[in-house]
Homo-oligomer: A and B are copies of this chain.
């Protein structure tokens, strides 16, 4: 949706987005209905409807404001940095809020091209960051990598996401070590 130029309309639009994001994080995407969002934002249903005629578009725009800042700014030595960042990802995905946003992205992308574009961007971001980090480790002779750089995010993020959302338990430090080990031969 384009941003309205009328200040009152811009204010109500912003309030609706804040309300939708808050409902998304607290109760999941099913809570993003015209009625619930209007109630939460303190505006009329017709106002929500005027800005977003379909709840799906509102969900899309609400997700655009949520960042997934994983694996940014790698540091050497890479191995302890990676261990900390994977643990941080596991902790984040153990909260229904973050897991919910990522699963909504993955699920919504199956049926909605707009959400698919957001999912692609999130995937590229995570993959690029991991590629850069491991390239740093290779350049520093910290690892002789056997994994395909294109598979890094599947190999590292996949098991943690699956574990956090299917098993709904905490990820063990052993699993994280095993994931790091599986990338190649690390030098002591």
Contacts and interface: CB of A to CB of B under 8 A. Distances in A.
Contacts of A166: 106, 119, 122-123, 153-154, 157
A89 interface: no
Interface residues of A, number: 43
Interface stretch (A5-13, A14-22, A80-88, A107-115): A107-115
A67 interface: no
Contacts of A165: 106, 109-110
A75 interface: no
Residue among A148, A174, A178 with max Cβ neighbours from chain B (10 Å): A178
Interface in A36-62: 56
Given A30-B111, A110-B103, A155 B151 contact: no
B100 A110 contact: yes
A123 B154 contact: no
A27 interface: yes
Nearest to A161: B162
Nearest to A175: B151
19 contacts: A28-B110, A30-B56, A30-B111, A103-B107, A103-B110, A106-B165, A106-B166, A110-B165, A123-B166, A123-B167, A148-B175, A153-B166, A154-B160, A154-B175, A157-B162, A158-B161, A158-B162, A159-B159, A162-B162
